[in-house]
Amino acid sequence: MFKLGLPPTNVTFNTLFNGLLSKAKITDAEKMFVEMLKMGYEPDVITYSTIINGLCKTGNTTRALHLIKKMEEKGCTPAVATYNTIIDSLCKDKRVNQATEFLFEMFDRGIPPNVVTYSSILHGFCKLGRLNEATSLFNQMVERNVMPNTVTFTILVDGLCKEGMISEARCVFERMTEKGVEPNVYTYNALMDGYCLRSQMNEAQNLLNIMVRKGCAPSVRSYNILIKGHCKSGGIDEAKGLLAEMSHKALTPDTVTYNTLMKGFCHVGRPQDAQKLFKEMCSYGLLPNLITYSIVLDGLCKHGLLDEAFKVLKAMQERRIEPDIFIYTILIRGMCNFGKLEAARELFSNLFVKGIQPDVVTYKVMISGLLKEGLSNEACELFRKMAVDGCLLNSCTHNLIIQGFLRNGDTSNAVQLIEEMAGRGLSADSSTFQMLLDLESYDEIIRRFLHGNSQDLFLLEINASFTRNMHLVKGNLPCHQIGSCC
C-alpha cells in the first residue's frame, strides 16, 4: 500500500488484526499493534475490541485484560460487546469474581449490562456450584429490567438440577413459561436430567411428553438422558423400549446411546444382551470406542465369560483400536477372580513388553489375585516393585495387602507393613486392626507395637476403634502412659 502511495487506515489495520487473530497468530498481531502505534495511528474502539475478542477466543484472557486496561488509560471506553467478551472469557477460566468486578465497573461507567453479560456470569456461578450467588444475580437482573431469555433460564435450570435442587429448577422452569419465554430442547433436557439424577423417572417421562405436546422435538440427547436414568434406577427394559422408540421418531441412536444401554445390561447381570447390542451397534455402522469395549469386557469378565471377552479383545485389535491400561486391568481382574492366575500373571508381565505402565489399580488387582491364592511373598515383591515404578502407595493400597497377609495368617509381614505405613505418615484402618486383633492376643500386639513411633500410632488406632476393649490394653501399659489413652 505504501508503494502505491496509499497509507493504511484504521479499517485496514482492523481487518489485518481480525485475519491474524482468527488464525491464532497472537505474536504477529501484537507486533503489528506496536508498529501501528509507532506509525502514529491511534487505535479506536473497533481495533481494541477486535484484538480483545481474538485474545479471548484463543484463551489469552490475561493479555486481553492488559489490553482493556490500556484501552481505558487512552480514554477509549469499551463497548458492551467488549465487556461481554472479557466477562465470558473470565468465567470460562473460572475467574468469576473478576468477571463480577467488570460488571460493577460497567455500572460505575453508566454502561448498562445486557442479557449476554448476565448470562455469562450466571453460567460461571453455576459451573462452580455457587447457586446462591447465581440466583441472587438472576433476581438482580430482573430488578434492573433486563429480561432473561431462553439461554439464561436454561443456564439456571441446569445449574440447579446439577446441584440436586430439582424443585427450585422446576419453579424456574414454570416462571419461564409464565413470562412467555419458550423453553427449547436444551431446557427440557436439563430438567429431565435433573429428574433422572434423582431417579424420578415418571416426572422425567412426563416432561418428555409435555415437550412433544408443545411442539419441541426431542433430540438424541433427550433420549440418552432418559435411557441413562432408567438404567440407573434398574429399569433396563424401559430403557431398551426407548431405543425402539427412537427409530420410530427417525432419531438415530449414537455411540453414547448404545454405551449407556450396554452398561445397564451388564449392571443387571445380562452381559449377553449387552453383546447383542454391541453387534447391533456395529451392524448399523457405529464405531465402538474404548468406552464401548471397556463396558462389554467388564460385563463379560465379571460373569466369568473370559473366552468371550478375549474374542471381543481380538476384534478390538483387528479394528486397530489399542487397548489402554483400563481395559487390561479389567481382563486381569476377570482372570484373577475366576481362577486364571497364571494367565493373569502372563498378561500383566506382557504389559511391560508392550510399553504400557500399570497404574495403581492394575497393581492392586494383581496383588489381590496373588493374595487370594495365598502367595504372600510374591504379592509383597509386587508391592515393592509398585513403589519402584513410581506408583503412589496410599493407605488404601497398604491396607489391601496387609489384610491379604492377615487372611493368610502372616502377621509378621502385616505388622512390618503397618510400621512402614507409620513411617510414611499413613495409618492402617479399623478393619485392618480388627483383623489383627482377631489373630493375635492383646499382649502380643502390645509387645509388637510399643516401641518408637509405632506406639503413638497404635494407641491412636486402638483408642478410636476399640474403646470398648481398652481396659484389656491398659493393664499392659506403664502407669504414666494410661492417661494418654483415655
Cell of 428: 492402617
Contact present, 429 and 396 (Cβ < 8 Å)? no
CA atoms within 13 A on the CB side of 136: 6
- Residue 470 pLDDT exceeds 90: no
456 pLDDT tier (thresholds 50, 70, 90): very low
Grid cell digits, residue 36: 501501528
What's the Cα-to-Cα distance from 281 to each of 235, 256, 258, 284, 393, rounded to whole Å? 21, 11, 7, 5, 41
3-class secondary structure per residue, 401-441: HHHHHHHCCCHHHHHHHHHHHHHCCCCCCHHHHHHHHHHCC
CB 351 within 8 A of CB 361: no
How far apart CA 415 and CA 436 sit, in angstroms, is 9
Question: Domain ranges in the chain?
Answer: 398-486
- In this predicted structure, what is the pLDDT of residue 471? 43
Q: Going by C-beta distance under 8 Å and a sequence separation of 6 or more, which residues neighbour residue 103?
A: 87, 113, 117, 121
Chain-centroid distance of CA 239 in Å reads 24
Q: What's the confidence (pLDDT) of residue 94? A: 95
Please tell me which residue, 478 or 36, carries the higher pLDDT value.
36
Mean pLDDT confidence for 225-238: 95
What integer pLDDT is reported at residue 51 of this predicted model?
85
Residue 133 has pLDDT above 90, yes or no: yes
Q: What gap in Å lies between CA 478 and CA 262, rounded to an integer?
A: 62
Kindly report, residue by residue over 55-111, the tens digit of the pLDDT.
888 888 998 899 899 888 888 889 999 999 999 999 999 999 999 999 999 999 999
- Residue 6 has a pLDDT of 56
C-alpha cell at 10: 484504521
* Banded pLDDT at 128 (limits 50, 70, 90): very high
If you write DSSP's letter for every residue of 298-337 in order, what string do you get? HHHHHTT-HHHHHHHHHHHHHTT----HHHHHHHHHHHHH
**Predicted confidence band at 442 (pLDDT cuts at 50, 70, 90)?**
low
Per-residue pLDDT band at 33 (split at 50, 70, 90) = confident
How many Cα neighbours within 13 Å face the side chain of 153? 25
* CA–CA separation, 441 and 220 (whole Å): 63
**Most confident region among 72-76, 353-357, 439-443 by mean pLDDT:** 353-357
> So what's the pLDDT on residue 416?
82
pLDDT band at residue 178 using 50, 70 and 90 as cut-offs: very high
* Per-residue pLDDT at 481 exceeds 50: no
Collect all residues with Cβ–Cβ distance below 8 Å to 7 and sequence separation of at least 6: 1
pLDDT band (50, 70, 90) for residue 444: low
Which pTM was predicted?
0.79
Q: Is the dihedral of CA 434, 438, 440, 441 positive or negative?
A: positive
Query: Which stretch of 265-269, 305-309, 447-451 has the lowest confidence by average pLDDT?
Result: 447-451
163 backbone dihedrals φ, ψ, rounded to 5°: -95, 10
**Range among 72-86, 113-127, 419-433 with highest mean pLDDT value:** 113-127
Strands (E), 235-394: none
**pLDDT number for residue 477:** 41
User: What residues have CB less than 8 Å from 367, skipping those under 6 apart?
Assistant: 379, 382, 383, 386, 400, 401, 404
Banded model confidence at residue 446, pLDDT cuts 50, 70, 90: low
The Cα 307–Cα 297 span in angstroms is: 11
Q: Output the average pLDDT for the chain.
A: 85
pLDDT of residue 347: 95
Mean pLDDT value of segment 176-197: 96
- pLDDT above 70: percentage of residues in the chain: 88
What tens digit of pLDDT does each residue of 274-289 get?
A: 999 999 999 999 999 9
The pLDDT value recorded for residue 5 is 47
**Percentage of residues in the chain having pLDDT higher than 90:** 56
- Cell numbers linked to 408: 493368610
C-alpha cell at 198: 434423582
Q: What's the pLDDT band for 485 if we cut at 50, 70, 90?
A: very low
